[in-house]
């Protein structure tokens, strides 16, 4: 993946094989693990690029730069995006934590490129 920053050393907090190209959050506790988000417009740490299928498997999370993401609905290139409750990208309306910018126009369930900047806030 060109032009991105991966979160080094992160592990899956469970079976994340169905969450490839979704936003993820850090789990609580002392281990360095990530899990899927379940809260709409939650602050996420990045986008999962691989599909780890067991707790402890390596998780490739893009925290900044270009990443693949699944759209939850119609999004236009250049729009700011947030996470829906399943970790898919949706267009920012006026609330929530902006996770980045769409680089491609697309529709629901398609995989598209985005610019991750998880440090952005509303």
83: domain CATH number is 2.40.300.10
Whether 48 and 84 share a structural domain: no
Whether 107 and 80 share a structural domain: yes
Provide the domain count of the chain.
2
Judge whether 37 lies within some domain.
yes
Which residue, 63, 84, 101, sits at the end of a domain? 63
Judge whether 101 lies within some domain.
yes
- The DSSP-derived string for 54-116 is STTSB--EEEEEEEEEEBSS-B-TT-EEEE-TTS-EEE--SSS---EEESS-B-TT-EEEEEE
- pTM more than 0.85: yes
Domain that holds residue 54: 4-63
Judge whether 122 lies within some domain.
no
pLDDT at 121: 58
Tens-of-pLDDT digits for all 122 residues of the chain? 458 888 888 999 999 999 999 999 998 776 789 999 999 999 999 999 999 999 999 999 999 999 999 999 999 999 999 999 999 999 999 888 999 999 999 999 999 999 999 655 55
């Amino acid at each position: 993946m060109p032009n991105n920053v991966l979160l080094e050393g992160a592990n899956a907090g469970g079976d994340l094989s169905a969450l490839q190209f979704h936003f993820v959050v850090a789990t609580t506790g002392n281990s360095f693990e990530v899990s899927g988000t379940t809260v709409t417009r939650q602050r996420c740490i990045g986008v999962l690029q691989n599909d780890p299928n067991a707790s402890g498997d390596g998780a490739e999370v893009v925290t900044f730069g270009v990443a693949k993401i699944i759209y939850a609905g119609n999004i236009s290139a250049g729009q700011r995006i947030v996470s829906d409750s399943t970790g898919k990208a949706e267009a920012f309306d006026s609330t929530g934590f902006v996770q980045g910018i769409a680089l491609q126009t697309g529709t629901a369930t398609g995989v598209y490129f985005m610019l991750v900047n998880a440090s952005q806030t509303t």
